Amino acid sequence: MRVLGIAGSPRRGGNTDLLLNEVMKGAASRGAEVKTIILSHLKIAPCQHCDGCLETGRCKVEDDMQMVHSELMKADRIVLASPVHFMGVTAQAKAMIDRCQALWVRKYVLKQPPLGDKRERKGLFISVGGRKVANLFQPALATVKALFKVLDIAYAGELLFPGIDEKGAITKHPDALKQAFLAGQKLVED
Q: How far is CA 126 from CA 63, 82, 91, 183, in A?
A: 26, 6, 16, 10
Predicted confidence at residue 126, as pLDDT, reads 98
If one counts the domains in the chain, the total is: 1
Upper half-sphere CA count for residue 101 (Cβ side, 13 Å): 18
Q: Give percent of the chain with pLDDT exceeding 90.
A: 97
Q: Which domain holds residue 116?
A: 2-189
Supply φ then ψ for residue 41, to 5 degrees.
-90, -5
Asked if residues 16 and 168 have their Cβ atoms less than 8 Å apart, the reply is: no
Predicted confidence at residue 3, as pLDDT, reads 98
Q: Maximum distance among all alpha carbons in the chain?
A: 51
Per the document, the length of the chain is: 190
Q: Is the pLDDT of residue 134 over 90?
A: no
Predicted confidence at residue 161, as pLDDT, reads 97
Enter the pTM of the model.
0.96
In tens, the pLDDT along 22-37 reads 999 999 999 999 999 9
Segment 134-156 mean pLDDT = 97
Predicted confidence at residue 163, as pLDDT, reads 94
pLDDT band at 173 (very low <50, low <70, confident <90, very high): very high
In tens, the pLDDT along 44-101 reads 999 999 999 999 999 999 999 999 999 999 999 999 999 999 999 999 999 999 999 9
Domain with residue 123: its CATH number is 3.40.50.360
Predicted confidence at residue 29, as pLDDT, reads 98
Asked if residues 66 and 30 have their Cβ atoms less than 8 Å apart, the reply is: no
